[in-house]
């Protein structure tokens, strides 16, 4: 066995033990770094968005230079070669719609012209896949023709280019994971993706404002739509899951936290189908990385209902010490190091905060070091280095 393979196995064991709430040799370091990688490697954000090979190289360089245990193969996930191939309207792309050093932006649809109209719930509920293909896709793509419209050259080309782009990119992702293992001994942090059904409606169909109105005007339709989509999203999650059942399925949550929803709305609309999905995934032997973007502490009593060890709870704006008291006995925690501290603080401040978090939540194992949220280009290199080196030295069990 090569030295790099031994290093990979050591890191994988460390990462898995922490996620299972055990004590490895030391705290794993698993930063979710996105545009930070471009800054560190000397690329513009446009370059890593337009050329995924540069994004792969930048991620790999960070993994090697910082000696991290696990990373996402590419956290700059809006590859413009795919979004532009099919003419997507809901992303603003660096260097095309935005300055070259501005991260991509999601464009919320206008309330009066959302990608799904308020009277179309029945069609979505009856056939989610058919609705997305026949109704939603022609609306979100500048080139795709709706059924019944005259076909065009650009319509045909969008499917050809889109299919080729997806095949090329996802095949390259597999090669990137293998390259991480072989060249730097780095573990892929996640495998597969899960979305909450409610977030699909809010993010990609009705928009947040439209969905807020729907919760009052047609709540039963909203619930039925979530229930109709849940099995499809579960299938997607399990299709991309780690066959060895080591690394978790990623779940980024968007519109379910305060102030987007009250805890009562969360309980009624957001939670039932997401809870069911996580329970099904856990029954199949996979954990979920529960990436709680925003402030989720008011909903901790619901999250505590999940089966023990079924998730890794990632803390963003919530109080990580409160999270630890509420669910730390059931789940591994990660994150909790504020992004504004990493962007605007000093290395000594970062070390002090890391010590506070390690002392407060990691003494008995079950903690993974990371920033609160995905790190973009405002994150300072010296602060990431301070977080990494301090954890490596102080986080030994």
Contact yes or no for 91/103 (Cβ under 8 A): no
Burial class of residue 131 in the structure, from the number of CB atoms within 10 Å of its CB (0-12 exposed, 13-18 middle, 19+ buried): buried
In angstroms, rounded to a whole number, what is the distance separating the alpha carbons of residues 247 and 11? 12
Per-residue pLDDT at 272 exceeds 80: yes
In angstroms, rounded to a whole number, what is the distance separating the alpha carbons of residues 50 and 60? 17
Q: What is the structure's pLDDT at 15?
A: 98
Average pLDDT value over all residues in the chain: 96
Q: Of how many residues is the chain composed? A: 397
Pick the CATH number of 189-397 from 3.40.50.300, 3.20.20.210, 3.40.1380.10, 2.30.110.10: 3.20.20.210
| pLDDT tens-place string over residues 135-192 | 999 999 999 999 999 999 999 999 999 999 989 998 999 999 999 999 999 999 999 9
Q: Which helix (H) or strand (E) holds 314?
A: strand 311-315
Q: What is the structure's pLDDT at 34?
A: 97
Q: How confident is the model at residue 85 (pLDDT cuts 50, 70, 90)?
A: confident
Q: What is the structure's pLDDT at 372?
A: 98
Contact yes or no for 27/391 (Cβ under 8 A): yes
C-alpha distance from residue 167 to each of 50, 56, 170, 171, 243 (Å)? 16, 16, 6, 6, 20
Tokens standing for 116?
A: 């799904």
- How close are the terminal C-alpha atoms of the chain, in Å? 27
Q: At what angle do helices 207-217 and 219-239 cross, to 10 degrees?
A: 130
In angstroms, rounded to a whole number, what is the distance separating the alpha carbons of residues 339 and 33? 11
Residue 345: how many other CB atoms lie within 10 Å: 16
The answer for residues whose C-beta is within 8 angstroms of residue 335's C-beta and 6 or more apart is: 314, 315, 316, 320, 368, 370, 371, 372, 373
Residue 300: how many other CB atoms lie within 10 Å: 18
Strands (E), 219-301: 249-253, 288-292
Please give the model's pTM, rounded to 2 decimal places.
0.96
Q: What is the average pLDDT across 47-64? A: 96
């Amino acid at each position: 066995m090569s030295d790099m393979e031994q290093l990979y196995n050591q890191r994988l064991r460390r990462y898995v033990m922490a996620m299972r709430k055990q004590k490895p040799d030391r705290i794993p370091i698993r930063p979710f770094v996105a545009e930070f990688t471009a800054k560190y490697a000397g690329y513009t954000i446009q370059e890593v968005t337009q050329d995924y090979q540069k994004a792969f190289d930048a991620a790999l360089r960070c993994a090697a230079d910082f000696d991290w245990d696990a990373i996402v193969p590419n956290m700059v996930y809006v590859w413009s070669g795919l979004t532009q191939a099919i003419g997507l309207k809901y992303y603003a792309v660096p260097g095309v719609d935005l300055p070259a050093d501005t991260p991509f932006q999601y464009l919320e649809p206008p309330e009066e012209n959302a990608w799904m109209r308020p009277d179309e719930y029945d069609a979505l509920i009856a056939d989610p896949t058919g609705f997305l293909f026949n109704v939603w896709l022609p609306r979100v793509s500048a080139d795709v023709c709706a059924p019944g419209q005259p076909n065009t050259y650009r319509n045909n080309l969008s499917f050809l280019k889109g299919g080729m782009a997806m095949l090329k990119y996802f095949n390259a992702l597999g090669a990137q994971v293998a390259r991480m293992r072989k060249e730097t001994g780095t573990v892929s942090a996640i495998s597969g993706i899960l979305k909450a059904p409610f977030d699909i409606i809010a993010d990609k169909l009705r928009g947040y404002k439209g969905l807020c109105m729907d919760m009052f005007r047609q709540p039963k339709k909203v619930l039925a739509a979530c229930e109709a989509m849940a099995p499809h999203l579960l299938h997607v999650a399990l299709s991309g899951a780690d066959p060895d059942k080591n690394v978790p399925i990623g779940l980024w949550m968007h519109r379910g936290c305060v102030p987007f929803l009250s805890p009562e709305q969360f309980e009624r609309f957001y939670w039932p189908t997401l809870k069911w999905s996580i329970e099904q995934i856990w029954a199949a032997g996979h954990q979920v990385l529960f990436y709680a973007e925003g402030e989720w502490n008011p909903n901790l009593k619901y999250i505590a209902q999940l089966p023990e060890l079924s998730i890794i709870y990632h803390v963003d704006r919530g109080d990580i010490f409160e999270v630890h008291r509420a669910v730390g006995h059931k789940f591994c925690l990660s994150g909790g190091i504020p992004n504004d501290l990493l962007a605007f603080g000093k290395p000594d401040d970062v070390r002090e905060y890391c010590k506070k978090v390690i002392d407060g939540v990691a003494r008995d194992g079950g903690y993974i070091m990371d920033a609160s949220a995905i790190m973009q280009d405002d994150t300072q290199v010296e602060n990431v280095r301070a977080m990494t080196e301090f954890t490596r030295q102080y986080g030994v069990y």
